[in-house]
Structure 1
Amino acid sequence: MPFESLGEYIEALEQAGQLKRVKAKVSPNLEIAEIMRRLMYSDGPAVLFENVEGSSMQVLGNAFGNMKRLEIALETQDFTEIGRRITELTKMKMPSGMLNKLKMLPKLSEISEYGPKYVDNGPVNEVVETDNKASLNSMPVLKSFAGDAGRFITFGLTVTKHPETEIRNFGVYRIQIIDDRHAIMHWQTHKRGAQHYKMMKEQGKKIEVAIVVGADPATVFSAVAPVPEGMDKYLFSGITRKKGVKLVKCRTVDLDVPANAEIVLEGYVDPNDIRMEGPFGDHTGYYTPAEPFPTFTLTGIMRRSRPIYLTTVVGKPILEDAFIGKVIERSFLPLIQMFHPEVVDFAMPAAGWFQGLAIMSIKKQYPGQAKKVMMGLWGMGQLALTKMFIVVDSDINVHDMNDVIWAVTTRADPARDTIIINNTPTDTLDPASPLVNLGSKLGIDATTKWKEEGYMREIQELAVVDEETKALVDRKWPEYFNGT
């Protein structure tokens, strides 16, 4: 059964030996962040801080900081299952004939389980605070680096809905605390929440927002995942966990939030209230400079009576976000293959902070196919922000950088096989782009070249050991080193 809450997940982590409790008093001002970074860099456990200075809330960190914990969180060891469930839904057709329709009933019943379920109340309604009683400073929000402009929420799931279709989205955006009732929403221009905001801004209206802090693991993962355009994120969460999420209505805004959440911050973002946000140390390993972003105004809080504040920290890779990114990479491979069936495998190395570099292997069938795949993937959602693509043949392991480097240096000629495209969208946080949100792309075709692609020499044969010699050495191996 999927986890219904963050608390259930904590219990599972503890039973698996993946959680440590810290009873010593710790400060949310720099100290907790440094402890968490050290744990993340050393493949340490999830950590529950039980005695946080200035707060009655416990703080959970590094909750998804290795693949074992994510296997527990999403109840699978094969994350491509998640993507396959989505592709199966897109391929479904209602069969003809009564018998075939009856055979489809179990599948349709399974799909109906994925949708969200609406309830009147849940644990998140145990405490409701509105007006002057609600305060952003009631939470132990961390300051991560000494040079940061202040404290910011790192793992809030920001819920909005499309102004026309009302399809719901939630994403993870940086939220800088200003005072009891105000924060700054770091909405990167390419993100779906920012698109909803811009649509409301064009109408001269504020946009209602709910920020969920602490939810079941599948819903937290869904916030980070780049789901296909037009898919409701709560449905994606249900597909991920194979069971619909229980939702309740907010009290001061017209939005739905998980009934089993720890904390929900309700409010609106005003396009007429723009403030300078940052600088902050970020996942590139650099401080991002201060920039103008709109202000979130708090109108109410719903929370459990004893909520747990879920948080993470960012910085130079490899930290917790690298493992979440690896799951996204694996779970979205089937979707990539649905649109580009020649793709065999796909990798986004963690050291490249996931938007920096992607490597894909293909089963090459015609000249120029590697460049076709690059162009196609640069046109797919958030992959539009990926700075560099490397395409290799299907005999190369995209997860082995030694194998990839060998392919690049033996199968790519810089003049012939490198493409650079200028003036393209880039990640807002990219420290190297000449302008914010605008830079260039690099593509390297490291596939074996054909004559049609300009390789006029005789194709060289790979030097591989013959099967007869391999079998001989396999058979005699025990004799070589046993002293006989």
Structure 2
Amino acid sequence: MFRNLRAYLEALERRGELRRVRVPVSSELEITEIADRMVKGGGPALLFEQVVGKDFPVAIGLFGTRERTAFALGVKDLDELARKVEVLLELKPGTGGLSALLGLLPKLPLLKGFFPRRVAKAPVQEVVLRGEEVDLSRLPVLKCWPQDAGPFLTLPLVITKDPETGELNLGMYRMQVLDRRSTAMHWQLHKVGRRHLEKAKRLGKRLEVAVALGGDPVLTYAATAPLPPLPGVSEFHLAGFLRGAPIELARGVTVDLPVPAEAEFVLEGYVDPEEPPVVEGPFGDHTGFYTLPDLYPRFHVTAITHRRRAVYPATIVGMPPMEDAYLIEASERLFLPPLRLILPEVADYHMPPEGIAHNWVNVAMRKEYPGQAYKAAYGMLGLGQMMFAKVIVAVDADVPVKPGFATLLKALEHTLPGRDTLLLRGPIDVLDHSARAFAFGGKLLLDGTRKLPEEGGEVPFTPRAHAELPGDPEALAQRQWPGVWGVALRKERPGQAFCLAERLLRTPQSEGIRLLLLADHDTALTPEELLWAVLNNIDPERDARVMEGVAGPVLVLDGTRKLPEEGFQRGWPQRILMDEEVKARVAARWEAYGL
């Protein structure tokens, strides 16, 4: 448990996991380039003490490694989160009368801190700015990527209250700064904040909003967690349970909402549902691509409160690996025990970083009857945010679910394309740019478990990777791994990828291959980048085909950009890349940063 962000930073510094950058840096692109290099290299968290033209320092990389994320959440390793929840789920009074109730007593300390505590005095309200004093430009809000529409708050803890039930929600939604006293609020279609706003509109009310920055890092994590809807339980309860001490909440100075007393900043205000939405974006998102501009509500800031000598917390998202991968892994571990309660056959699951959470899920299961892999996949697709999963790969319980590529290779040994692959439709994350329609698209289930006689049994297969690959003028780069073939091409006409696939699969080098991945020319053919690119760029129902190779069927995934002539009428976003000038400037200053 850390009382606040400052306590966490001090603890990181004692562990040698925090570096201070004392020279002036820019909040526009420069901090992003430095932080991106650090997180991809497994480096320490950073505290930028001087940000040009801003009043506060920036802390970034707070969850930048698996080990640091575990430390932030108060556990030795992320698997400990699952063990904590497993013990909690055993708190059942049963029917044993007094003896059963007494049996609960040793476990009740697990609930210590579950309920938030109200306080009258809050460090986050040491400085209060209202009305004309409000000026968001004083905050070192980052412009992360070159094509971003402006600076975005990237670690905001957004607090709203259901206008009908009074239930609280703490969520993390990016916020584009529009001017000195307003931001856009990225409440997507499926988010709780969006539902609260729609209810406020029906009731003819403004929706009060408070946005906290900082506090115990456990609270920041809780805002990202896919907490199921439980009456009377909010992310504040989850954070208190994880830290073993209650979250202290104070009343906002201009809104009737609780705010974390130990936060660094709180922005208070409202969203008027009758006001026209504003254009938000583009934004370099966690997909590794820019989210295209869209319409979202405007958040009006009526007050800013903050600590004296406050520290502004931030993160960056983009092409993996980024630190959000470790927050996702924490949620995996935390929600594994409840998943097992609903689907007892599930032994483990993992969302590889290359799949940016929703695009790829590996699930290991204890298989007892034919078709059970599909049953498990269907069940997972019916659970909360797991409904957004695009590709689910099932394997037997004795197969590790990570690293993701190794699991996929093992699954292909037991997958006959066409027989053991299934296409579905369903809800898709609104950030998915490749879906057939907004928030709606195809899904792919791949059954990589050992097959029972009723399922057709095992089909003999020896995965191969050929040293010499066929020469084709459109195959700009090629690489094979046992069972998998990756190809990069320059997309110029509709249907080009599948035409190339047909030619390649007629060659002897398709023998021993069960998965052919086609990607755009700018994709590096490493397993991680290839899978990231292809999974981002497919709607499985449109872009997955089973085609015949020289030795049997092959699953082909067209992960190239889609053209209007292929029926794709929405805009296709650009991949996130940093300006070369910024990269050169950071490289030249690296020694000055002290890194």
TM-score by length of structure 2 reads 0.74
Q: Name the counterpart of 1:404.
A: 407
**Correspondence list, 1:340-379, <5 A:** 340-379=343-382
Note if 1:12 corresponds to 2:11: yes
Residue 407 of structure 1, CA deviation: 2.8
Residue 460 of structure 1, CA deviation: 9.7
Note if 1:256 corresponds to 2:258: yes
Note if 1:332 corresponds to 2:331: no
Note if 1:107 corresponds to 2:107: yes
The range that moved more, 68-77 or 438-447, is 68-77
What secondary structure sits across from 1:107 in the alignment?
Answer: helix
What secondary structure sits across from 1:164 in the alignment?
Answer: coil
Q: CA RMSD in A?
A: 1.9
Q: Name the counterpart of 1:50.
A: 49
Q: Name the counterpart of 1:297.
A: 300
> C-alpha deviations, 1:361-412, integer Å up to 9, x for none?
0000111110011111111111111111001111211103454233332211
Q: Name the counterpart of 2:180.
A: 180
| Partner Cα distance (1:8, 1:191) in 2 | 31
What secondary structure sits across from 1:247 in the alignment?
Answer: strand
Q: Name the counterpart of 1:478.
A: none
| Aligned mate of 1:246, from 245, 248, 252 | 248
Q: Name the counterpart of 1:390.
A: 393
Note if 1:165 corresponds to 2:165: yes
> Alpha carbons of 1:72 and 1:233: their partners in 2 closer, same or farther (altered >3 Å)?
same
| Aligned mate of 1:279, from 272, 278, 282 | 282
| Partner Cα distance (1:129, 1:401) in 2 | 48
Residue 110 of structure 1, CA deviation: 4.3
> C-alpha deviations, 1:41-71, integer Å up to 9, x for none?
2212100000111112110011110012112
What amino acid maps onto 1:212 in structure 2? A
| Partner Cα distance (2:234, 2:105) in 1 | 23
The answer to whether the 8 Å contact 1:248/1:259 transfers is yes
| Partner Cα distance (2:31, 2:371) in 1 | 51
The answer to whether the 8 Å contact 2:156/2:211 transfers is yes
> C-alpha deviations, 1:333-384, integer Å up to 9, x for none?
1121121111111110001111110000000011111001111111111111
The answer to whether the 8 Å contact 1:83/1:335 transfers is no
Q: Name the counterpart of 2:38.
A: 39
Q: Name the counterpart of 1:152.
A: 152
The answer to whether the 8 Å contact 1:49/1:59 transfers is yes
What secondary structure sits across from 2:274 in the alignment?
Answer: strand
What amino acid maps onto 1:107 in structure 2? K
Note if 1:139 corresponds to 2:139: yes
Q: Name the counterpart of 1:30.
A: 29
> Alpha carbons of 1:214 and 1:101: their partners in 2 closer, same or farther (altered >3 Å)?
same
| Partner Cα distance (2:460, 2:38) in 1 | 49
What amino acid maps onto 1:54 in structure 2? G
What amino acid maps onto 1:408 in structure 2? A
| Partner Cα distance (1:163, 1:91) in 2 | 34
**Correspondence list, 1:57-76, <5 A:** 57-76=56-75
The answer to whether the 8 Å contact 1:87/1:338 transfers is no
The answer to whether the 8 Å contact 2:113/2:243 transfers is no
User: Gapped runs of 5+ residues in structure 1?
Assistant: 462-484
Residue 307 of structure 1, CA deviation: 0.7
> Alpha carbons of 1:112 and 1:167: their partners in 2 closer, same or farther (altered >3 Å)?
farther
> C-alpha deviations, 1:308-327, integer Å up to 9, x for none?
00001111111111121121
**Correspondence list, 1:442-453, <5 A:** 442-453=444-455
What amino acid maps onto 1:415 in structure 2? G
Residue 172 of structure 1, CA deviation: 1.2
> C-alpha deviations, 1:186-244, integer Å up to 9, x for none?
11111222222222222232211111111211101101111121231110111111211
The range that moved more, 114-123 or 3-12, is 114-123
> Alpha carbons of 1:83 and 1:195: their partners in 2 closer, same or farther (altered >3 Å)?
farther
What secondary structure sits across from 1:439 in the alignment?
Answer: strand
What amino acid maps onto 1:39 in structure 2? M
Q: Name the counterpart of 1:429.
A: 431
| Partner Cα distance (1:78, 1:348) in 2 | 17
Residue 267 of structure 1, CA deviation: 0.8
What amino acid maps onto 1:132 in structure 2? E
> C-alpha deviations, 1:169-196, integer Å up to 9, x for none?
1111110001111110011111222222
| Partner Cα distance (1:400, 1:112) in 2 | 35
> C-alpha deviations, 1:273-302, integer Å up to 9, x for none?
301100111111111110000110011112
| Partner Cα distance (2:224, 2:400) in 1 | 26
What secondary structure sits across from 1:416 in the alignment?
Answer: coil
| Partner Cα distance (1:163, 1:329) in 2 | 31
The answer to whether the 8 Å contact 1:9/1:216 transfers is yes
The answer to whether the 8 Å contact 1:182/1:298 transfers is yes
User: Gapped runs of 5+ residues in structure 2?
Assistant: 463-595
| Partner Cα distance (2:392, 2:338) in 1 | 18
> Alpha carbons of 1:228 and 1:132: their partners in 2 closer, same or farther (altered >3 Å)?
same
Q: Name the counterpart of 1:227.
A: 227
**Correspondence list, 1:186-225, <5 A:** 186-225=186-225
| Partner Cα distance (2:110, 2:399) in 1 | 38
Identical amino acids, percent of aligned pairs = 40
RCO (CA 8 Å, sep 6+): is it higher in 1 or 2? 1
The range that moved more, 341-350 or 162-171, is 162-171
> Alpha carbons of 1:133 and 1:377: their partners in 2 closer, same or farther (altered >3 Å)?
same
The range that moved more, 88-97 or 192-201, is 88-97
Residue 20 of structure 1, CA deviation: 0.3
What secondary structure sits across from 2:205 in the alignment?
Answer: coil
Q: Name the counterpart of 1:129.
A: 129
What amino acid maps onto 1:7 in structure 2? R
What amino acid maps onto 2:44 in structure 1? P
The answer to whether the 8 Å contact 2:264/2:312 transfers is yes
Note if 1:312 corresponds to 2:315: yes
Residue 99 of structure 1, CA deviation: 4.8
What secondary structure sits across from 2:62 in the alignment?
Answer: coil
| Partner Cα distance (1:48, 1:403) in 2 | 36
> Alpha carbons of 1:458 and 1:153: their partners in 2 closer, same or farther (altered >3 Å)?
closer
Note if 1:416 corresponds to 2:415: no
> Alpha carbons of 1:165 and 1:134: their partners in 2 closer, same or farther (altered >3 Å)?
same
TM-score by length of structure 1 reads 0.90
What amino acid maps onto 1:30 in structure 2? L
| Partner Cα distance (2:90, 2:103) in 1 | 17
